[in-house]
């Protein structure tokens, strides 16, 4: 049987408070206004990709804080993240602001942050970065042999 990872609700609440402050709203308010939907999508993507919450963990977090939710709503929010951030440029700035703080945390979060930022790097820099990453990986493989 798979061991369930304990979720850090204090950390999640800190992140929710950051989202609330940046978006100037309450992500736990039961409303379908677009600005709330986008802010909840930001919170959901951070909890899912960076904090490794499951869909059910996120649903339970929303419910515990007064927001009606279910796992399919959370999944829909995560799947639509790219659309929301395309049309609302603030979302990416807010994500960068919040994940910069997360960057101090764990390596999985750092990997997700790097993946996100790769989409915004020009091809010349990608070539350079690929060489650096390849060199680093080769060094790591040599030390494990």
pLDDT score at 136 = 87
CATH fold of 9-106 reads: Chromosomal Replication Initiator Protein Dnaa; Chain: A; (1.10.1750)
Would you say 46 and 99 are in contact if contact means Cβ atoms under 8 Å apart? yes
Q: pTM for the complete prediction?
A: 0.76
pLDDT tens digit string along 11-58? 999 999 999 999 999 999 999 999 999 999 999 999 998 888 999 999
Q: Which residue has the higher pLDDT, 12 or 99?
A: 12
Helix 71-79 × helix 34-45 angle, to 10°: 90
pLDDT score at 107 = 74
Cα Rg of the chain, angstroms: 17
Q: What are phi and psi of 4, to 5 degrees?
A: -80, 130
Domain ranges in the chain are 9-106
The H-or-E segment that residue 79 falls in is helix 71-79
pLDDT score at 99 = 81
């Amino acid at each position: 049987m798979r061991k369930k990872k304990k979720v850090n609700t204090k950390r999640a609440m800190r992140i929710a408070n950051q989202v609330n402050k940046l978006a100037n709203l309450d992500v736990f308010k039961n409303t379908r206004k677009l600005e709330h939907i986008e802010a909840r999508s930001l919170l959901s993507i951070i909890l899912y990709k960076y904090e490794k919450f499951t869909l059910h963990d996120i649903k339970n977090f929303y419910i515990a804080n007064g927001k009606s939710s279910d796992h399919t709503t959370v999944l829909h929010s995560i799947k639509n993240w790219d659309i929301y951030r395309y049309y609302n440029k603030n979302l990416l700035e807010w994500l960068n602001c919040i994940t910069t703080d997360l960057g101090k945390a764990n390596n999985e979060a750092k990997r997700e942050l790097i993946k996100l930022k790769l989409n915004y790097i020009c091809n010349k820099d990608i070539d350079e970065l690929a060489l650096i990453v390849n060199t680093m990986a080769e060094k790591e493989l040599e030390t494990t042999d």
